[in-house]
Structure 1
Amino acid sequence: MKKLLLSFLLFIALPISSAFAEGGVVSSADPRASEAGQEILRKGGSATDAAMAMMLALTMVEPQSSGIGGGGFLVHHDAKTGLIDTVDGRETAPSGAQSDRFLGPDGKPMPFMQAVPGGLSVGVPGNMRLMAMAHDKWGRLPWADLFGPAIRLAEKGYTVNEVLNDRLERVASIWKDFPEARALYWRDGQPAPIGTVIRNPALAAFLKTLANEGPEAFYTGANADKVTATLAGAPRNAAVLTAQDLAAYQAKERPAICGRYRVYTVCGMGPPSSGAVTVIQILTMLEPFDLAKLGKDNPESWHLIAEAMQLAYADREKYLADRDFVDVPVAGMIDPAYLAKRSKLISSTKALKHHDAGVPPGAPRRTAAISSEVHGTTHFIAVDGDGNIASMTSTVEGPFGSQLIANGYVLNNELTDFTFAPEKDGAPVANRVEGGKRPLSSMSPTIVYDASGKPIFTIGAAGGKTIIMQVAKALIAHLDWDQPARDAIGMPLIYFNKDGLVLEEGPWVNMMKPALEHMGHVVTVRKLGLKANAAEWVGDHWEGAADPRSPGVALAE
């Protein structure tokens, strides 16, 4: 196992040559964040500078999804060295957290929405440490310059759009217990209507402090005291997160996880993200099938994708977790020989009755257990004129995270991404709660290289566990079906639940649903909360794309 893993790590550390980009691009899920990234590129900032400015701006304009009170994963391509690096800014459980954190008095897992609001669900935020590490490595502009757009938005205000209003309506019933959130985002006793101007002077003041004093101002001093007091005094699920927990937090550089798909190399984030491993599993299992010939409108294509998806997710639930705490057989899970055997389980014409986890090389004894992730999060991309790429997924988890506010920003509910039951069938669950541990995530920031080693595509998404499938589907659409980035991410999604397949509602359902049912699938149709962003190399330049389901935009430098 150690020899295999060493070989794997040596492979992913090899330099990958870069493509030259004439002018940069940015893409995010909100126009005001994209404008922040564009501004930084035009000032001479790097892709990382632009991405971090977007992360800060999204704290203000998309508080329901991400921000400095949460965490994220960054995948970076360095045009000069050709290296791909990743930074893990995932939140951590407080040092005192125990495996029974989300068990009720009866010893059974508490209902999910009982655990979310308040202090119990809050992990130590990682985004500011991630930002500091990334800026130290790849930044060009002074640290303080990156805060300018977000501070202006917080001081001058921004208007509530349809998405923010919808999320406010969804959490309205919870906010009777959260007056600080209501004070920011309600007007006249109701969620702020579309067009309402939101200002956030507390956040503006704190961003100025961070700009002047650096990341230590987040993890120590007055802000650390504010966070610990907010959790301790939470109106629901009061909890302990100490000043030492905050001060000890560190973002981590981790090796990228890369796999081959046809002539391409697909690279992304390793554990505690399940993104790259699961995406690579899906793609590798599909490689024996000629998806290009079958085409995007053929139900057989989507049947094959659905089968590979469910087999990969079965492995995800059983084996993936924070590698600092759990033995995760990453090399075995993406081993081509193992996945070739898994692929042979797939029939071109008939659905499998069961999609059980396999036994990859080096796998420990473990029991599968389902973790929970809700449809939140955001993704943004920046490519600068030199061809450096920063692809980052950032989150506070569910809409408005824990519903708690500290210094004007939303505190995450990431700890509910842990599996609530610490054991199943007498065996430990990989993703159980432990002090200092990072919960499993589906966030999947991804960069794709062509056969010559040039980066040609980068993508990420939001939407809980659907993130993995949004990315895998877009890669298939782009690489196999020659779809431009915007069409690839806008294509309808196939997903699954405990009953069977789920098709995103739309005109395609009339053709796909009966054909898939004929193959033996149980199929339901529903609206899915999806949101992806991408950029592609077209001829001699980069072009950005934003999901047509979202208000997001891509902007050129």
Structure 2
Amino acid sequence: MERHPPPFRRRLGQAVLGTLLVLIPPLSQAESSFEYQRPDASDLGDQARLSGEAAEPFAIVTPHPLASDVGHQVLAAGGSAIDAAVAAQLVLALVHPQSSGIGGGGFLMHFDGEQVRAFDGRESAPAGVDETLFMDGEGKPLTLPVAASSGRAVGVPGMLRMLEVAHKAHGRLAWASLVAPAITLAEQGVPVSHRLHHELAAAAELADDGAVAALYFTEDDDPLPAGNTLTNPALAAILRLIAEQGSSALHTGAVAEDLVARVQGHPELPGAMSLEDLATYVAKEREPLCVPWRRWRVCGFPPPSSGHLSIMQMLGMLAELSPLEAPLEKGRPTAAWLHRFVEASRLALADRNRYIADPGFVDPPGGDWSTLLADDYLASRADLIGEQRLDDDQVGAGNPGALDSAWAMSPVQAEHGTSHISVIDAAGQAVAVTTSVGQSFGARLLADGGTGKPGGYLLNSGLTDFSFRPADQQGTPFTNRVAAGKRPRSSMSPTLVFDRESGDLVASLGTSGGAAIVHYLAKTLVALLDWQLDPATAIGLPHVVTREGLVRLEADGYPEAVRSALAERGHDVETGALTSGLQVLRRGNDGLVAASDPRGGDTAGED
């Protein structure tokens, strides 16, 4: 646990739900539970896209207005930050199923006013698998689409266990009352959002499964239109069990038996998950990585997340370079800054691909992950960044410390299917939680928990975040190869920021975006803290990511002059969609300021 001085003083004012601002009176004391009041549709809609307004004394931002509204009601009832996160996260299981749900996993950062704690609910590999999990009968790796839509892809889910452990430590309201809103919404129905409609349209093959088709598609196999009512009786029934029994309702009993049957009964590629795997899953508490950077202390998740280490390596390398006279031009990062940013990300990701994996299976270089963040090491890496793009053979992993074993450079693999929530409550406690079901819509397997009711929850495809091959062509193993009980590497990066001098909480933030999370958050941290932009402006800056030698600029985000200048520096540049889901809470002089990313956010679904 990372300790901090006493929390900042708090004043009263407004609260933010998602990006919808509502005046909230102060509460004299917390109640043991709260009664959920479903909002009118007119209270949500396009207002949920407003951002950048000041709000006190508490706030929550999520990717969906219904989830934000639930979190807001919990906070207004005197609930803690973790209470609000639990209630909002369970609503996301209904309204944001392509990215989040009870069948997935995640990472959670919590600040109680003095300590930072990190809770690990990442999916784990069943005991019955080995490093050949994603190899075919000829010893070749499966393709990602084939592997992801199979029983082999499903890891032991950890999201519920993680939320339960954090709630037992820091919750104020009764667990059952926090589950109740998701039950109500699943039974009464919610409008299909534009985001969910488009995600379904992009995954039309989902309709090949009868149960999925009945839940998310019309009789003509078209995705449910935005605004149509989505009900989920099976999910509501499962949530009722979770309200009564906690995470044990998912990890034991009839719901667990159904989950195992779905995984083992896959017709083409069955998985090896067992009832024992589910019953013995443990949400782990890990030591947070709190890193000094300029005048702040940036706390994030350690391995098996690679995100925070990579982000802080990038920021550390950029800090070692001589300052640019003008990193921004006409409200956008300049080509000179983008070039440095891209080169720093290539070097950081090279280190990730060689060194970072589940710490229960891989030792860090030099015996400590901090060797990757040492000033001298980052300075040596920054020295590689010149005015021209480094050749691919120049972008290898560095040598931060001695290793007991030799590791090969892992191949690049895609990550998708994440969502993020940030909360700050009236007592100054904060949560940043990022959750995932793996690929979009997970393993494309719907489980009804043995309820016999229509609907259910999607199983994760989290194990596809492992390296499909166990070793390179020379036989040198990859750190992120599959192993029984191992947790796959992830880019999820829930982040809390503090003032180094006072210890005051400054911000809670995170994003969806799979492997691009590293780029999205690194740029946002620079914009928010170094350039002192307000959260909405920081989020709105056009994105840049680098992958497999290409630099992708957000479509319509940069003028041709920037693209040409990057090409002159040797970069192979393309443009395209970069759909982040950034959620930011920032404490300013006038209170809390919230912003939610319009690229990855949902509206209520009315045209």
Could you say which TM-score interval applies, normalised by the shorter chain?
over 0.9
Query: What is the deviation of 1:235?
Result: 3.7
1:523 to partner: Cα distance: 1.1
Q: CA deviation at 1:295?
A: 2.1
The answer to whether residue 577 in structure 2 is matched with residue 546 in structure 1 is no
Contact 1:94 1:245 (8 Å CA) reproduced: yes
Instruction: After TM superposition, give the deviation of residue 289 of structure 1 in Å.
Output: 3.0
Task: Give 1:414's match in structure 2, choosing from 458, 462, 481.
Answer: 462
> Which of 303, 310, 314 is 2:339 aligned to?
303
Displacement after TM superposition at 1:17 (Å): 4.2
After TM superposition, the structure 1 = structure 2 runs for residues 328-343 of structure 1, keeping only pairs within 5 Å, are: 328-329=364-365, 330-343=369-382
SS of the residue 1:379 aligns to? strand
Superposition pairs of residues 345-360 of structure 1, within 5 angstroms = 345-347=384-386, 349-354=387-392, 355-360=395-400
| Count of residues in Structure 1 that have an aligned counterpart in Structure 2 | 538
Q: Is the 8 A contact 1:460 1:532 kept in 2?
A: yes
Q: Deviations over 1:260-312 (max 9, x none)?
A: 21121111000110111111100100112355743223211111111111100
Q: Match for residue 5 of structure 1? A: none
Could you tell me whether the CA contact under 8 Å between 1:501 and 1:524 is conserved in 2? yes
Indicate whether 1:34 and 2:68 are aligned: yes
Deviations 1:220-264 (A, max 9, x none): 111110101111222442222100000010000000012121121
Task: State yes or no: 1:44 paired with 2:93.
Answer: no
User: Is the 2:118–2:286 contact (alpha carbons within 8 Å) kept by the matching residues of 1?
Assistant: yes
Q: Is the 8 A contact 2:491 2:518 kept in 1?
A: yes
The amino acid that maps onto 1:405 is L
Residue 569 of structure 2 corresponds to residue 511 of structure 1 = no
CA distance in 2, matches of 1:335, 1:390: 27
What residue number does 1:231 align with?
263
- Runs of 5+ unmatched residues, structure 1: 1-11
Map 1:17-416 → 2, pairs under 5 A: 17-22=6-11, 23-79=57-113, 82-176=114-208, 178-188=209-219, 189-289=221-321, 291=323, 293-297=325-329, 298-329=334-365, 330-347=369-386, 349-354=387-392, 355-363=395-403, 364-407=405-448, 408-416=456-464
Contact 1:442-1:467 within 8 A present in 2 as well: yes
Cα distance, 1:118 vs. partner? 2.3
Identify if the C-alpha distance between structure 1 residues 244 and 482 changes in structure 2 by more than 3 Å, giving closer, same or farther: same
Query: After superposition, what is the alpha-carbon deviation per residue over 1:86-118, rounded to whole angstroms, capped at 9, x for unaligned?
Result: 000000011011100001122111111110112
Identity of aligned residues (%): 38
Q: Report if the CA contact (8 A) 1:63-1:400 is conserved.
A: yes
- Equivalent residue of 1:458, what SS? strand
Counterpart CA distance in 1 for 2:129 and 2:578 is 33
Write the deviation string for residues 118-177 of structure 1: whole angstroms up to 9, x where unpaired. Answer: 21100010011101100011100011111121111101111111110111112212431x
- Tell me by how many angstroms 1:540 deviates: 4.3
Provide the rounded CA distance (Å) in 2 between the counterparts of 1:487 and 1:493. 12
CA contact 2:207–2:217 (8 Å) conserved in 1: no
- Offset, 1:16: 4.5
Q: Distance between the aligned counterparts of 2:504 and 2:381, measured in 1?
A: 30
Instruction: Check whether the contact 1:93–1:123 (CA below 8 A) recurs between aligned residues.
Output: yes
Distance across 2 between alignment mates of 1:276 and 1:504: 23
1:187 maps to a residue whose letter is T
**Number of the residue aligned with 1:4:** none
- The answer as to whether partners of 1:36 and 1:50 remain within 8 angstroms in 2 is yes
C-alpha separation in 2, matches of 1:283 and 1:485: 18
Q: Which amino acid aligns with 2:193?
A: N
CA shift in 2, pair 1:301/1:204, >3 Å: same
CA distance in structure 1 between the aligned counterparts of 2:184 and 2:95, rounded to whole angstroms: 11
**Distance in 1, Cα, partners of 2:81 & 2:440:** 28
CA contact (8 A) 2:193 2:602 kept: no
Task: After TM superposition, give the deviation of residue 510 of structure 1 in Å.
Answer: 1.9
Q: Could you tell me how far 1:20 is from its partner in structure 2?
A: 3.3
**Given that residues 471 and 477 in structure 2 are in contact (C-alpha distance below 8 angstroms), is that contact kept between their aligned partners in structure 1?**
yes
- What is the aligned partner in structure 2 of residue 459 from structure 1? 509
- After TM superposition, the structure 1 stretch with the greater mean CA deviation from structure 2, 375-384 or 491-500, is 491-500
- 1:454-492 per-position Cα deviation (integer Å, ceiling 9, x unaligned): 111221111110001111000011112111112112211
Q: SS where residue 582 of structure 2 aligns?
A: strand
Q: Distance in 1 between matches of 2:312 and 2:119?
A: 19
**1:361 maps to amino acid:** G
The one-character-per-residue Cα deviations of 1:430-468 (angstroms, maximum 9, x if unpaired) are: 000111100000000011112322111221111110001
Render the CA deviation track for 1:374-428: whole Å, top value 9, x for unaligned. 3321001111011100000011011110011122111100000000000112211
Contact kept in structure 2, 1:333 and 1:360, CA below 8 Å: yes
CA offsets 1:304-362 (integer angstroms, 9 cap, x no match) = 11111110011011111000111123121111211111011111x22211321111113
Q: Give ranges in structure 2 of 5+ residues lacking alignment.
A: 12-56, 449-455
> Do 1:504 and 1:528's aligned partners in 2 also have CA atoms closer than 8 Å?
yes
Amino acid at match of 2:478: V
Which residue identity lines up with residue 348 of structure 2 in the other structure?
A
CA contact (8 A) 2:445 2:458 kept: yes
SS at match of 1:39: helix
Tell me which amino acid in the other structure corresponds to 2:398: G
Question: TM (normalized to structure 2)?
Answer: 0.86
Instruction: State the distance in 2 between where 1:367 and 1:76 align.
Output: 34
Task: Return the letter of the residue paired with 1:418.
Answer: F
Work out the CA distance in 2 between the residues paired with 1:236 and 1:374.
23
Q: Choose from 464, 480, 483 the match for 1:431.
A: 480
Q: C-alpha separation between the residues in 1 aligned to 2:573 and 2:103?
A: 38
- Residues in 2 aligned to 1:506 and 1:19: alpha-carbon distance in whole angstroms: 40
Match of 2:4 in 1: 15
Distance in 2 separating the partners of 1:124 and 1:16: 37
Matched residue SS, 2:292: strand
CA distance in 2, matches of 1:46, 1:293: 43
Q: Distance in 2 between matches of 1:39 and 1:236?
A: 45
Q: Which residue of 2 aligns with 1:447?
A: 496
Question: Partner amino acid for 1:308?
Answer: A
In 2 relative to 1, CA 21–313 (structure 1 residues): closer, same or farther, beyond 3 Å? Answer: farther
Residue 448 of structure 1 aligns to a residue whose secondary structure is strand
Distance 2:490 2:247 in 1: 24
Matched-pair contact (CA < 8 Å) for 1:74–1:86: yes
1:465 partner SS: helix
One-letter amino acid of the structure 1 residue matched with residue 216 of structure 2: Y
Asked whether the equivalents of residues 579 and 600 of structure 2 are also in contact (C-alpha less than 8 Å), the reply is: no
Which letter maps to 1:442? Answer: S
2: CA distance between counterparts of 1:388 and 1:292? Answer: 36
After TM superposition, the structure 1 stretch with the greater mean CA deviation from structure 2, 411-420 or 478-487, is: 478-487
Give the deviation of 1:14 after TM superposition: 3.8
